[in-house]
Each structure stands twice: as structure tokens, then as C-alpha cells.
Amino acid sequence: MVKVLFVCLGNICRSPMAEAMFRDLVKREGLEHIITVDSAGTGDWHVGKPPHQGTQDILNQHQISFEGQVARQLVTTDLNDFDYIVAMDTQNEKNIHKLTSLHTSTKIVKLLDYVPEADKLDVPDPYFTGNFQEVFDLLKVGCERLLKEIQTNENASREGK
């Protein structure tokens, strides 16, 4: 089982949007038996709250379910429980690395590492910008490419490569 965790600051805008989008991709590919998805925030301000209304609106617009999602804070055990931890921006990536031990085999990346042609290094926080469409567009490309990477890696590991 491959476990993917998306991380942003408060876990109400970017990371829950990525979680819902990635879960939808996984489901459409019929890979729910191979890949699980979650999200968390490095801060605790919104713990227990549903995704931001802007996130809900854009996901509803694209008929992507976010049912049952509530904000939670990143915890140290996540670093060993997940295979991929995908940060939305540089600061959150740094915060994740502060929690890691030298022995973790978890792959920690930024989502926009999968979108090198983007004109930015970080997924902008729509909590502050209000631009949920821009975030959706960046996440769509990044999530599709992340899934391809996982599929390639899983096929290689099953073939003993």
C-alpha cells in the first residue's frame, strides 16, 4: 500500500483540495486498493474544521467529493506512516523536515516539483489570495504527475526492478 499525505499550513485550503483531487484520480484509475490519501497542516488553527468554503466550491464545481474531510495537524508519526509527503510550499516543506529523523524513508517533496514549467515554486495560499481556481489548476497537473510517478515506481517494484 502506498500512502500519500498532502501538507499545507492550516489544512483547510490547499492540502484538502489536493487530497480530494488525488483521491478522485486514484478512484478513477481503480487504484484504491494500492494507494491511500490524507492531508494535514503544520499549524493547529483549524483542527476539526471542514475545508474552506472556497475549496468546497471549486471541488463541487468539478464534482470532486471532499466528504468526511476535516483538518488535522501533522504529527511526528506521519513521517514514518506515509511513503510520500507532499508540501504545498517551501515553508511547509521546511517545517516537515524539522520533524524528520535521519532514518525516515519517506519521500518529502513540494507539489510544484512535479510542475517545473509553473512560473512559481510554491502553490499560492488561496486563504490569502482568494484565487482557488489557480490553486486547482496547479494541483491538477501536479497530482496527475505524482500519480504517474507512483504507478511507475509500483510497477518497477512489482517487477523487481
> For residues 135 and 156, what is the distance between their CA atoms, to the nearest angstrom?
31
Interval 112-156: pLDDT, tens = 999 999 999 999 999 999 999 999 999 999 999 999 999 998 875
148: nearest Cα among 19, 20, 25, 62: 25
What's the mean pLDDT in 22-28?
Answer: 97
> For residues 79 and 105, what is the distance between their CA atoms, to the nearest angstrom?
9
**pTM for the complete prediction?**
0.95
> Which strands form 107-110's sheet, in the order they lie side by side?
35-41, 2-8, 84-87, 107-110
106, pLDDT greater than 60: yes
113 φ/ψ angles, rounded to the nearest 5 degrees: -60, -25
100, pLDDT greater than 80: no
pLDDT on residue 59: 98
**DSSP letter string, 133-152:** HHHHHHHHHHHHHHHHHHHH
Domain formed by 2-158, architecture? 3-Layer(aba) Sandwich (3.40)
Interval 65-87: pLDDT, tens = 999 999 999 999 999 899 999 99
104, pLDDT greater than 70: no
Active site residues: 8, 14, 125
Q: What mean pLDDT, rounded, does the chain reach?
A: 93
Name the band, by pLDDT with cuts 50, 70 and 90, for residue 161: very low
